[in-house]
């Protein structure tokens, strides 16, 4: 067996802001109902960051928990990648703010912008450092304050999103080049810029100088989701050299319960193997996969050695999937 270096996830952490907003809370000021939201999306509530809570604070809280779970300290971190679409400031990157707030030494820190697919993209970028021995202790964080991008008069979007952050610690581990190895084993990343108008924010520093609001043709995005995600999952499994059916847990991006069920049905995945947090978290964009991972690990369902399949699709359109053995 050849010896290879793998990027192993050694700790997971999550953070949700204290404030909980139920569907009934939203129905007080927008023309919607708990019944419609639950039936069409599976969402029952979402968390919302306090007005004075920037996304970097959410990221730091999740990162601290991930470091603790990994038995690592901030002074050991040499790489921070934050997947976010809701940065504190236009610049610097949230990752450098996290670096300062956590008290990490000088290292590499930058953000990845792939909207809801950001965490899968960021893991792949981290793999490029860790599996080449260029980082000994990396933090990969998905952190979002999506509620800041909502048009609260648009019932087609404002009921769908929530705030939160999830983080993992990634470290190099020797493997034998087989699917029994611990670590990131396969990826499939995709983007189709021609679908921009389906899901975007109508502002930015280089256009109108505004932050903007999220605009989405939900049913059009929905049409692409199941097909795109299923193709990427199949490709990531092939890249890893495994069968989709051999995966222990699916840890999907949480956009809509009907998408999760549609992907599971199309790929012949038992729904009991799908980690779902949508009902309590709503769609937290790049944070939703690490938050779901954290949930599964903390409640004891996901165990060391389990084979996991992560997948997401979001604005761009971007989408992708990743196979990892915990
Ligand atoms: O994470 C990024 C990726 N995002 C996604 O994957 C989101 C994908 N899309 C979706 O999840 C779904 O398309 C939605 C949940 C956004 C919408 O569900 P839908 O079944 O596709 O509904 P629709 O947009 O086709 O709208 C159906 C009806 C419309 O009314 P009419 O025109 O039939 O009278 C909407 O106005 O539902 C209405 N509607 C609502 N009614 C009550 C839309 N939003 C709401 C609402 N409450 N919040």
Which backbone phi and psi does 292 adopt, to 5 degrees? -70, -40
Q: How far apart are CA 182 and CA 193, in angstroms?
A: 34
Residues 231, 113 share a domain: no
CA distances from 193 to 28, 211, 239, 244, 319 (A): 37, 21, 24, 28, 11
Please provide residue 15's backbone torsions phi and psi, each rounded to the nearest 5 degrees: -145, 135
Residue 16 contacts residue 282 (beta carbons within 8 Å): no
Which residues partner with 139 through β-bridges? 80, 169
Residue 160 sits in the same domain as residue 294:
no
pLDDT tens for the 326 residues of the chain, in order: 679 999 999 999 999 999 999 999 999 999 999 999 999 999 999 999 999 999 999 999 999 999 999 999 999 999 999 999 999 999 999 999 999 999 999 899 999 999 999 999 999 999 999 999 999 999 999 999 999 999 999 999 999 999 999 999 999 999 999 999 999 999 999 999 999 999 999 999 999 999 999 999 999 999 999 999 999 999 999 999 999 999 999 999 999 999 999 999 999 999 999 999 999 999 999 999 999 999 999 999 999 999 999 999 999 999 999 999 99
Tell me the CATH number at 139.
3.40.47.10
Last residue of a domain, one of 129, 154, 175: 175
In terms of domains, do 53 and 163 share one? yes
Cα atoms in the 13 Å half-sphere on the side-chain side of 140: 33
pLDDT at 1: 63
Pick from 175, 192, 210: which residue ends a domain? 175
Q: Do residues 150 and 226 share a domain?
A: no
Q: List residues bridging with 82 in a β-sheet.
A: 111, 141
- With H, G, I as helix, E, B as strand and everything else as coil, classify residue 244: helix
Nearest to 144 by CA among 120, 159, 166, 121: 166
262 in the same domain as 239: yes
Whether 163 and 188 share a structural domain: no
286, 149 Cβ separation under 8 angstroms: no
Nearest to 58, CA basis, from 82, 93, 26, 90: 82
Which among 114, 117, 149, 156 is the best mutation to test ligand 1's pocket, defined by most ligand atoms within 8 Å of the CB?
A: 156
Return the best residue to mutate from 222, 288, 289 for the ligand 1 pocket (most ligand atoms within 8 A of CB).
222
Instruction: Say yes or no: 198 and 226 in one domain.
Output: yes
Would you name the residues annotated as active-site residues? 116, 253, 283
For residue 90, give every residue at least 6 positions away whose Cβ sits within 8 Å of its Cβ, in sequence order, or none.
205
Q: Are residues 22 and 150 in the same domain?
A: yes
* Whether 166 and 203 share a structural domain: no
Instruction: Tell whether 189 and 305 lie within a shared domain.
Output: yes
- Quote the CA–CA distance of 143 and 80 in Å, as a whole number: 12
Domain that holds residue 233: 183-325
Residue whose CA is at the smallest distance from ligand 1 atom 8: 222
For ligand 1, residues with CB inside 6 Å are 32, 36-37, 40-41, 116, 155-156, 159, 218-219, 221-222, 225, 255-256, 259, 283, 313-314
Are both 124 and 200 inside the same structural domain?
no
pLDDT of residue 138: 98
CA of 41 to the centre of ligand 1 (A): 8
Is the pTM higher than 0.85? The answer reads: yes
| Same domain? 213 vs 272 | yes
Total number of domains in the chain: 2
**Domain termination residue (choose one: 144, 175, 206):** 175
């Amino acid at each position: 067996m050849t010896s290879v270096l793998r990027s192993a996830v050694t700790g997971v952490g999550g953070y949700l802001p204290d404030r909980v907003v139920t569907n009934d809370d939203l129905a007080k000021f927008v023309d919607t109902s708990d019944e419609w939201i639950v039936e069409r999306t599976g969402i029952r509530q979402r968390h919302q960051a306090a007005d004075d809570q920037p996304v970097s604070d959410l990221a730091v809280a999740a990162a601290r928990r991930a470091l603790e779970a990994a038995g690592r300290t901030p002074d050991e971190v040499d790489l921070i990648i934050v997947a976010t679409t809701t940065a504190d400031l236009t610049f610097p990157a949230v990752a450098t703010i996290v670096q300062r707030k956590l008290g990490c030494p000088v290292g590499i820190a930058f953000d990845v912008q792939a909207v809801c697919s950001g965490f899968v993209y960021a893991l792949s970028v981290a793999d490029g450092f860790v599996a080449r021995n260029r980082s000994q202790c990396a933090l990969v964080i998905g952190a979002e304050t999506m509620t800041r991008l909502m048009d609260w008069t648009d019932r087609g979007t404002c009921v769908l999103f929530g705030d939160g952050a999830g983080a993992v610690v990634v470290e190099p581990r020797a493997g034998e080049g087989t699917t029994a190895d611990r670590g990131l084993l396969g990826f499939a990343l995709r983007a189709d810029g021609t679908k921009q108008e389906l899901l975007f924010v109508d502002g930015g520093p280089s256009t109108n100088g505004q932050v903007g609001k999220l605009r989405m043709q939900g049913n059009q995005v929905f049409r692409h989701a199941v097909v795109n995600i299923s193709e990427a999952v199949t490709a990531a499994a092939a890249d890893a050299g495994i069968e989709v059916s051999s995966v222990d847990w699916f840890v999907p991006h949480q956009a809509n319960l009907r998408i999760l069920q549609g992907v599971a049905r199309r790929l012949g995945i038992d729904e009991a193997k799908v980690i779902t947090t949508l009902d309590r978290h709503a769609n937290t964009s790049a944070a939703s996969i690490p938050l779901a991972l954290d949930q599964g690990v903390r409640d004891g369902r996901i165990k060391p050695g389990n084979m996991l399949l992560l997948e997401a699709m979001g604005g761009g359109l971007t989408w992708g999937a990743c196979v990892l053995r915990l």
